[in-house]
Structure 1
């Protein structure tokens, strides 16, 4: 990507208004360090995609992109934090070793899941792995595969049913 100062681009606008964008995100979400990270993420997004022509108000668009990126980051951090359970004291044993029988049972169950996923039709398997294993949102899976979100939901139902059937649940 070449930079032509005569032709304003979103990336040039981001560089020109960097501090303003950081302050904008900080005022809305409170943390200056996180605000810098958000603006850096926006910069990466701009570098990774082709730029749209004829952006009339690049600062407004950058604010919108920054806000959306900050909301997405906040939601994922909130979701991640909800998975963690605070512990006032550490247990004496960090991890109790699994018994050989428990390990064998877990390996058998894992192999059943692998076999269930492998037995799915190719499109269904791709949808299931993208969403359940790689945690890609359904809308993005649909976009990447060129199918509707309803079709993604159908494939996920079929995949879950196959896994449950092989596990006997």
Structure 2
């Protein structure tokens, strides 16, 4: 398992000259929780937008992801999970650093054992329907930030920070 390479609080303190964005908890109680064994993770962003269909999530995490974090805008749906243990295992096998889901995950006890950073809004046992719907590499906006493929993202138990350039070597 990887060791903690950074603390998001320190990234903000150490980079006052950079225009860093911080994902904010919303007033309606939506905030990210950590589900993976990696409590500190980051990397170059790959974006996907999908609503209650994890087809693109599964496809992307089955490709090489060294140095990358998949950021999924699931529209904050609380009706089904966009990632479970099998897809998370595929992410580990393909060297992804982490996955951030603006939505839900499932199989949380199994995911907690995997060497993968995972942040999501909640857990739910219901799986998504796969219809092949979703957009990849498009700009996303949630939690008061704008994120696009190629950005860098850093997450730990303090929160999530988005940058236009790498802040630490992971």
TM-score above 0.5: no
Q: Highest CA radius of gyration, 1 or 2?
A: 1
Q: Whose strand proportion is higher, 1 or 2?
A: 2
| TM-score for both structures, normalised by structure 2 | 0.18
| TM-score for both structures, normalised by structure 1 | 0.18
Q: RCO higher in 1 or 2 (8 Å CA, sep ≥ 6)?
A: 2
Q: Whose helix proportion is higher, 1 or 2?
A: 1
